[in-house]
A and B are shown apart, each in its own frame.
Chain A
Amino acid sequence: MDAVILITGPLYSGKTDYARTLCPNPAQICTDAQTLAADCPDLEALADHLAGQYAVVTVTEVGGGVVPTDPAQRAAREAAGRLGCLLAARANTVVRVFCGLPLVLKGDLPQ
């Protein structure tokens, strides 16, 4: 399997549509991986698992607003951001999709 590609970007920015252009097999795409970070006891292991299991992983950037007053939401948001960093470290290619437009942040897109 090719090394994992991480796709990051704001909510509703076109990440999943873009992932499908890179990988025709939906079973090899994990979307909204940041939702798995909440309550995860071991983010490193989760990142290892996702990077090993999928060709493309997408995460939604959720850390931009006001810090939530609810402790669980606060922790989930923090974990989501950290998972994104851990995945980016494991990915050969990191792409940010903004308004449907990809910008390569790390590495190169596969030919």
Chain B
Amino acid sequence: MLTFVVGGAGSGKSAYAERLLAASPGPRYYVATMQVWDEECRRRVQRHRAQRAGRGFVTLECSRDLARLRLPAPGSVLLEDLTNLAANERYDPAGAGPYTQEAVREGWRALHRQSPHLIVVGNELFCGGTDYAGDTAAYLKLLADLHRCLAAEADNVCEVVSGCPVYYKGKEPVYGPV
């Protein structure tokens, strides 16, 4: 069961995705993709950690090369998030660069092979206009291609609006045992 959760900044998408993970069979893994660059990153990580505290999730850090990540045991996974992963692959000198599209797709596929229940979080970034300077338009196009590809492969796709999921495909997953 593959579920894709998309939402804008502060939409409640992470909290909703974490609720889905909490309702899924254990062991439950939280795959964190953010590279910590500065104080703001550290604060954001702290807030998300506090949000997850006490829920029994095992956090695995993976900022790129997701296809090589090995889970300690089959279980349920929340991958947060696609946007960071794609940016790390594209812009980190050690990342996949021009092969970001392939690296990210193979990443979620490899993860799904190890985890029957996979939840992926993505950011809705595509309603803010069409005129972007420099590399931004190319990065947005890359992300949008990844979103459409993941949505096509997913069983369930929703956009979270003010904490409320709107399903475009499938429905809120009801999990059986792993």
Give residues in A with beta carbon < 8 Å to B.
10-14, 60-66, 68, 73, 77, 98-103
Beyond A11-B129, A77-B129, A99-B6, 9 additional contacts (C-beta under 8 Å) are A10-B124, A11-B127, A11-B144, A12-B126, A61-B127, A64-B128, A65-B127, A101-B157, A101-B169
Cα distance, A74 to B96, chains bound together (Å): 37
Cα distance, A77 to B4, chains bound together (Å): 29
Q: A101: which of B124, B128, B141, B151 is its contact (CB, 8 Å)?
A: B151
Cα distance, A77 to B128, chains bound together (Å): 10
B82: shortest Cβ distance to chain A, in Å?
Answer: 11
B140: shortest Cβ distance to chain A, in Å?
Answer: 7
Cα distance, A66 to B131, chains bound together (Å): 13
Flag if A99 contacts B127 (CB, 8 Å). no
B29: shortest Cβ distance to chain A, in Å?
Answer: 24
- In this complex, how many residues of chain B approach chain A with their Cβ under 8 Å: the count is 24
Q: A65-B127, A66-B128, A100-B152 are in contact. Are A13 and B169 (CB under 8 A)?
A: no
Give residues in B with beta carbon < 8 Å to A.
4, 6, 8, 124, 126-131, 140-141, 144-145, 147-148, 150-152, 157, 159, 166, 168-169
* A63 nearest in chain B by CB position: B127
Q: How many pairs, one residue from A and one from B, have CB atoms within 8 Å of each other in the complex?
A: 63
Top-8 shortest CB links A-B: A65-B128, A64-B127, A10-B126, A12-B144, A99-B151, A100-B148, A101-B168, A11-B126
Flag if A100 contacts B151 (CB, 8 Å). yes
Cα distance, A11 to B140, chains bound together (Å): 9
Residues of A within 8 A of B141 (CB): 12
Flag if B130 contacts A60 (CB, 8 Å). yes
Flag if A62 contacts B140 (CB, 8 Å). no
Residues of A within 8 A of B127 (CB): 10-11, 61-65
